[in-house]
Structure 1
């Protein structure tokens, strides 16, 4: 029964359940939004009083509609956050505005451009370090690419950026998610007076909400190990990320369903769709028919491309052929724009999908040793 109710545990609950210390930090962005970060300052077998202040800080940043829970779901010795804490890192888990941990404003501003810079500055201020390490998954990597191209001063604050399932160009998405991408995009450019953007600009953008406690409770019965309906849960996940039943630990399924999605701004989802409908472009958000706002923000009616050539932080890319969301074609396009790739790692198994970088059975054996060796060279 314990397995079935794990999905109601928060990220702090999951960490303390296994004996890891966890701190909650509030971070205020430049536009006044309050985020919550979760810190695991040391491993579960270490004594707080014996910890020296020389631990390297590292930020783990989740993907679209994810949260800090993404990094702890598999449990001790399998979740990257726990592995890094046990390896001697000062681990910080980010939460973007709009997810269940960063909802401290009555009216949410949809642009999360300010989130990652604020989190980096907070971590460096608390730890008194000149730079940190960064690991991002999916949209977490997008945030890094946008930040370091638009705010190049942050290149010197990040010693190494590890990009799992790197997401910049999205013109070659595969699977049913392409229909969602089209839907979100046509919500912007349809002939209905671009209603979605008009509503967002005048009344606030809607939110892609985390599921209610009731739906989580129901899913605990649909998705637990003995439920005959469990295949519905796995199929829904595979429809988004690519099929890899071999890599999915079914014991974690209830926990995953309980934490994903964790909420996001609908504007982020629309931006994702814009990239799909405009292949070959990685550029700022398009306000559609509101050309005046485009021009006011960008000095152009067409949003500008992100200048990836301005990124100087060493970058390690980790990708896979079975990733429907960060496809081989789109990752190749990203690689052609970056000048400072130090590692280009391709998952050795064709079964590896978008979420297996976080939760895959093979990640601990084939992926994390490479990642840990790389981090050790830059810590």
Structure 2
């Protein structure tokens, strides 16, 4: 999730569930935004709350997917102090995609000099910040309300087939059919990897940056991650009757009470105050988070996702393979796929000439080193020379990639220069 981007992820919501002090904020947020009757306007959207207050131009836009979801997307067309190396050169667009259980606000928790979208804008990029369906700013649909379970009948499969293609098409049309750079964190990396392997937007993308990549999740280390995934699968048939996976859902709260009752799990409020706090318990020991960024994070997370989406991630943890959603009923799989088992995604189909930057951390308990090495060894060993750049940061964990005070110096400058080398 990112707890970013997050994660596997029953765990992220579990984190906030055990922190009673932020539970009421999450429930209020969930109730405040309800599909077609959303009160969100440019005056209280992401731009006004997180971007224009720092002196950047920002546009609030909407993208409608072919399956009817109306997504909020923010455009930062220029920097506040951008480096004007070539004033005649057309700005290149870059899409910045968050992970599960959070939204685009997660990229703005530090100062402008530390926030990735603003850094990109200051370096001459045309920045587009996304908000996945079901999150605070993207709870509208052409015909469904989030109170309708059908609104939540999707997993990350649909983010691949419907959501990201719609965003790419929209950005492409708005920027004169230019090729687009893409940055994803956590689940945003999984969507990119599978999209490219399925031939989605391969003719529209220019280069890709994957931060804390997840594809294989079999080596998730934390007790909360493993137990959360196992418990989610055990309760799957019951929980799948609940479309929205959010803290205002009674069945979801009961599920987490069950997780906390298991002997290997300790749901202790004091974890937040200890060095090995709840974030460490879920995502690994982050090296470089500030207390102010963490407090900002509690204001924007967790956000709702679909139960099916979390169930799909849990299936990946259990199976060790990357496949489409398993309905776990032979008849349902036959209806959807024409076969008894869901098709497997083959990441080796990713075009070898796509420039790809990958950064992963040694302390990341979700994007585990062993899982990332499997991804690299199985699917990128024969990538075109000069088209793959891999960075390993020994002391980085999952959230450092979106919240670390030094992420600009350690990661973002490398991402920016990687994109610029493709010009």
Q: TM-score range by the shorter chain?
A: 0.7 to 0.9
Q: What RMSD in Å do the two structures reach over aligned CA positions?
A: 2.6
- The alignment's TM-score, normalised by the length of structure 2, stands at 0.75
> Post-superposition shift, 1:294?
0.9
2:391 match: 345
Matched, 1:183 2:222: no
Contact 2:361–2:392 under 8 Å retained in 1: yes
1:192-211 superposed matches below 5 A = 194-197=237-240, 199=241, 205-208=243-246
2:169 match: 121
Distance 1:35 1:238 in 2: 32
Matched, 1:32 2:68: yes
Residue by residue over 1:190-211, the C-alpha shift from the partner in whole angstroms, topping out at 9 and shown as x without a partner, is xxxx3333x25xxxx2233599
Contact 1:137–1:164 under 8 Å retained in 2: yes
2:311 match: 270
Contact 2:92–2:178 under 8 Å retained in 1: no
- The alignment's TM-score, normalised by the length of structure 1, stands at 0.83
Residue by residue over 1:16-55, the C-alpha shift from the partner in whole angstroms, topping out at 9 and shown as x without a partner, is 1111111111101011111111111111247xxx986710
**Secondary structure of 1:42's partner?**
coil
Matched, 1:11 2:46: yes
Contact 1:59–1:93 under 8 Å retained in 2: yes
2:342 match: 303
1:85-124 superposed matches below 5 A = 85-105=121-141, 106=145, 107=148, 108-111=151-154, 112-113=159-160, 114-124=162-172
Matched, 1:286 2:326: yes
Distance 1:315 1:85 in 2: 20
Matched, 1:249 2:249: no
1:217 match: none
Summarize the Cα distance change of 1:118–1:329 in structure 2 as closer, same or farther, 3 Å threshold: same
Gaps of at least 5 residues in structure 1 are: 1-6, 189-193, 212-227
Query: Match for 2:301 among 260, 265, 282?
Result: 260
> Post-superposition shift, 1:342?
0.5
1:216 match: none
Query: Match for 1:329 among 370, 373, 393?
Result: 370
Residue by residue over 1:49-106, the C-alpha shift from the partner in whole angstroms, topping out at 9 and shown as x without a partner, is x986710000000011121111111121001011000001000011111111110130
> Post-superposition shift, 1:120?
0.7
Summarize the Cα distance change of 1:233–1:79 in structure 2 as closer, same or farther, 3 Å threshold: farther
Distance 1:122 1:209 in 2: 32
**Secondary structure of 2:277's partner?**
helix
**Secondary structure of 1:82's partner?**
helix
1:372 match: 416
Query: Match for 2:90 among 32, 54, 62?
Result: 54
Summarize the Cα distance change of 1:357–1:298 in structure 2 as closer, same or farther, 3 Å threshold: same
Distance 1:210 1:232 in 2: 27
Distance 1:80 1:159 in 2: 19
Contact 2:110–2:405 under 8 Å retained in 1: no
Distance 1:378 1:174 in 2: 36
> Post-superposition shift, 1:123?
0.3
Summarize the Cα distance change of 1:299–1:120 in structure 2 as closer, same or farther, 3 Å threshold: same
Distance 2:88 2:409 in 1: 29
Query: Match for 1:82 among 118, 131, 148?
Result: 118
> Post-superposition shift, 1:249?
1.0
Matched, 1:133 2:181: yes
1:174 match: 221
Summarize the Cα distance change of 1:237–1:277 in structure 2 as closer, same or farther, 3 Å threshold: same
**Secondary structure of 2:235's partner?**
helix
Residue by residue over 1:336-379, the C-alpha shift from the partner in whole angstroms, topping out at 9 and shown as x without a partner, is 123536011101x32x1101011112312222222121111124
Distance 1:230 1:134 in 2: 34
Gaps of at least 5 residues in structure 2 are: 1-25, 30-43, 250-269
Summarize the Cα distance change of 1:234–1:16 in structure 2 as closer, same or farther, 3 Å threshold: farther
Summarize the Cα distance change of 1:375–1:127 in structure 2 as closer, same or farther, 3 Å threshold: same
Q: How many residues matched?
A: 339
